[in-house]
Amino acid sequence: MPSQVHETAVISSDAQIGENVTIGAYSVIEGPVVIGPHVAIGHHCLVQGATTLGEGCQLFTGAVIGSPPQDKKYQKTDKVYLKIGKDNIFREYVTVNPGTVEGGGVTCIGNNNLFMACSHVAHDCTIGDDCVLANYVGLSGHVTIQDKAVIGGLSGVHQFARVGFLSMVGGCSKVNQDVPPYALVDGNPATLRGLNVIGLKRSDLSFQVMLALRRAFKILFNSGLARSNAVAQVKQQLGSHPEILRILEFIENSKRGIS
């Protein structure tokens, strides 16, 4: 089907628009934007720069996607990019910035993520698949969000911090260290509260794996052992589970420390 573009929309001549794209009133597509098929862009949105929007993405009123990074070192001549996968939803007034030269030049967003109203993704962030950023969540630069993570409303994530696979951050939290996979953290600063039990129940993990995760968390975070000794013990006792190895690898690669 041909695209449906409102008569008040402004589209740059060097933009590429896929099939069956809807662009609402007073929206602006500026620069070498690439918009995949079946994308729906609402009213008063802005998509600009070297931005790629994957198939089936939705932008609601006032979303600003691809505006220059909020970094004093950024120059207009910098070649920086924003790459967005399929079926992502950007609700009202969400803002997403491309990368910076210093940070590698690319902000990457995977597939099937929900960015709720007024959330912000800063430069050089990497977001996986099936994540949820609730209202007014702010990601600083260079943040990594792994698959299936959920971040509660009004929370902020510090530069270079990581939020692990299938973890959950409680609302109004200040995340200044890494959040382990499968964990639930909350508070200011965010501290570990245990396993993300609700997330685990909703996943397809077996009961045996969930028991192994409980044992691993107890050894890693409640045994009083030094972190290196706790990691070694968990690897020896529970290392046959890929989910446990995921946690251990995450901890061993942490640069900001663990919440």
pLDDT in tens, the chain (259 residues): 678 999 999 999 999 999 999 999 999 999 999 999 999 999 999 999 999 999 999 999 999 999 999 999 999 999 999 999 999 999 999 999 999 999 999 999 999 999 999 999 999 999 999 999 999 999 999 999 999 999 999 999 999 999 999 999 999 999 999 999 999 999 999 999 999 999 999 998 999 999 999 999 999 999 999 999 999 999 999 999 999 999 999 999 999 999 9
CATH of 4-145, one of 3.40.50.720, 1.10.3720.10, 3.40.50.10490, 2.160.10.10: 2.160.10.10
Q: Buried b / exposed e across 15-31, counting CB within 10 Å, b at 16+?
A: bebeeebbbbeebbbbe
Dig out the tokens for 161 from the structure.
Answer: 């911090």
Radius of gyration for the alpha carbons in the chain, expressed in angstroms and rounded: 20
124 a catalytic residue = yes
257 a catalytic residue = no
CATH code of the domain occupying 201-252: 1.20.1180
Say which residue the tokens 């077996």 belong to: 206
Closest CA to 96 of 161, 49, 56: 49
Q: Which of 44, 123, 142, 241 is catalytic?
A: 123
Phi-psi region of 200 (alpha: psi -120 to 50; beta: other; left: phi over 0): alpha
Residue-range domain boundaries for the chain: 4-145, 201-252
123 a catalytic residue = yes
Helix extents (H) in the chain: 197-202, 207-222, 227-238, 242-252
Report d(CA 120, CA 96) in Å as an integer: 6
Dig out the tokens for 112 from the structure.
Answer: 């099937």
Q: Which of 36, 42, 124, 152 is catalytic?
A: 124
Report d(CA 166, CA 31) in Å as an integer: 36
Q: Which of 49, 56, 85, 141 is catalytic?
A: 141
Q: What is the DSSP letter of 179?
A: B
Instruction: Note whether 4-145 and 201-252 share their fold.
Output: no
Is the entire prediction scored with pTM above 0.85? yes
Closest CA to 41 of 51, 53, 50, 31: 53
